Homo-oligomer: A and B are copies of this chain.
Amino acid sequence: MNIRLYNARILTMEEGAEIFEGEVLIQNDRILYVGEKDSEAVFQNTWDREIDCKGNLLMPGFKDAHTHSGMTLLRSHADDLPLDEWLNHQIFPVEARMTGEDIYELSRLAALEYLTSGITAVFEMYLTPETIADAFDHMGMRCVQVGGINNFGGTMQEMEERYQKLNHKSPLQSYMLGFHAEYTCSKALLEQVSALAHKYQAPVFTHLAETENEVMGCRERYGMSPMAFLDSLGIFDYGGGGYHCVYMTADDIAIMKEKGLFAVTNPASNLKLASGIAPVTDFLKSKVRVAIGTDGPASNNCLDMFREMFLVTALAKFREKDASAVDAMEVLKMATVNGSYAMGLVDTDVLAAGKLADMIMIDLHQPNMQPLNNIAKNLVYSGSKQNVVMTMIHGKILYENGKFTACDPEEIYERAEKIRNRIGS
């Protein structure tokens, strides 16, 4: 299907690009044209649909660079509890009862929520990769899964098979190497992960330095920070990165810089679980690329890139006692371009001819976007899900003017509610 979106403001997110007025042509799954010209004059009239954007903003979709989608079951299941009690007595017991089919349904529920927030791709780590890939594929959503192996679940053989199989499953699904965290993996297991990374010359992702306890534990075990210890095993020799990255020393950050690693920040989860505030300005000063994730809905509890974007800069301002820290355009880059690259998606970063058509429309005809002093700053400081009026993935419009165009949300809600009634309460 070929779609012409005209009368738009456009933020391509290309380096240094300014917002301009123009149009975007979509040809099947890719962008054919982005520019100021009237495409009527450039291309023959072959579009199946024309959309008058009414001056609203087109931009690349947001990339949620760390999430556990199936945990929608556990949203508001148990909040306002100390971390240990929450995890060991409320989260783990319910997770142990979840089947692959449950996770399929719960991931579809999450996909609906991503669409409402303009999230077009997610970096997912959860329990049953096969049914997760099916869920996102059936929803038409881009998903990059990452291995979550640890002492209590998964085998290296499974991870390697998935690396081969899920990377060729469909144009929307891919898979990267990973493990749950240093504190849940033996040294022997981590050495195997490193060997696999070397075999495929592949990047590796993991939960990294989320809490102070975790870092202290690693120092007791190995006399090194998690970052230094994992690096000493060669795990990051082909890149990758860490989720959370709250407690990072200058030396840790130097390793990230040297290895070209991504720091994926999860500010809402880090506040809500009382973990801390990541040193985002330190990453930026060291040229470590930062991406943004929501974390799973048990610990956040929503999958909303607008809340995360505001928090990334607002918490940096607070942490540094500097109201000028981390400007809005930098945050937008984290939420789009950097997230895309972290996930190994080289063609969903910006709006440009030849790129994949993962794009959103932001309603500027809402009071929170007025007046139009600075649209980029409005997006980061004032934007909300309510402003997302279109989410397109791989050239298909999946969410438009508050409606899901490719599925029945009530059916998905009902299935999630059934699962909750069976195992969630």
Contact = CB atoms under 8 A, between A and B. Distances in A.
A400 B83 CA distance: 39
A385 B382 contact: no
Nearest to A383: B302
Total copies of this chain within the assembly: 2
Interface in A289-311: 297, 300-304, 306-307, 310
A322 to B, nearest CB: 6
A280 interface: no
Contacts of A88: none
A417 B364 CA distance: 13
A366 B410 CA distance: 9
Interface stretch (A39-47, A163-171, A265-273): A265-273
A296 to B, nearest CB: 12
A203 B81 CA distance: 37
Contacts of A79: 327-328, 374, 377, 381
Interface stretch (A108-116, A183-191, A225-233, A339-347): A108-116
A285 B416 CA distance: 38
Contacts of A77: 373-374
A43 to B, nearest CB: 32
Interface string A268-288: 101111101100000000000
A75 B420 contact: no
Contacts of A313: 80, 272
A116 B410 contact: no
A69 to B, nearest CB: 11
Given A116-B367, A417-B370, A310 B307 contact: yes
Nearest to A401: B402
Interface in A367-425: 367-368, 370-375, 377-378, 381-386, 402, 409-410, 412-413, 416-417, 419-420, 424-425
A321 interface: yes
B381 A318 contact: no
A318 B277 contact: yes
Contacts of A373: 74-77, 420, 424-425
- Residue among A297, A321, A381 with the highest chain B CB neighbour number at 10 A: A381
A314 interface: yes
Interface string A64-101: 00000000111111011111001000000000000000
Contact of A314 (B268, B323, B374): B268
Nearest to A277: B318
A419 B373 CA distance: 11
A259 interface: no
Nearest to A363: B402
Given A371-B73, A374-B76, A273 B323 contact: yes
Interface of A: 72-77, 79-83, 86, 109-110, 112-113, 116, 268, 270-274, 276-277, 297, 300-304, 306-307, 310, 313-315, 317-318, 320-328, 365-368, 370-375, 377-378, 381-386, 402, 409-410, 412-413, 416-417, 419-420, 424-425
Pick the 8 closest A-B CB pairs, nearest first: A302-B382, A113-B367, A112-B367, A76-B377, A271-B314, A301-B381, A80-B327, A76-B374
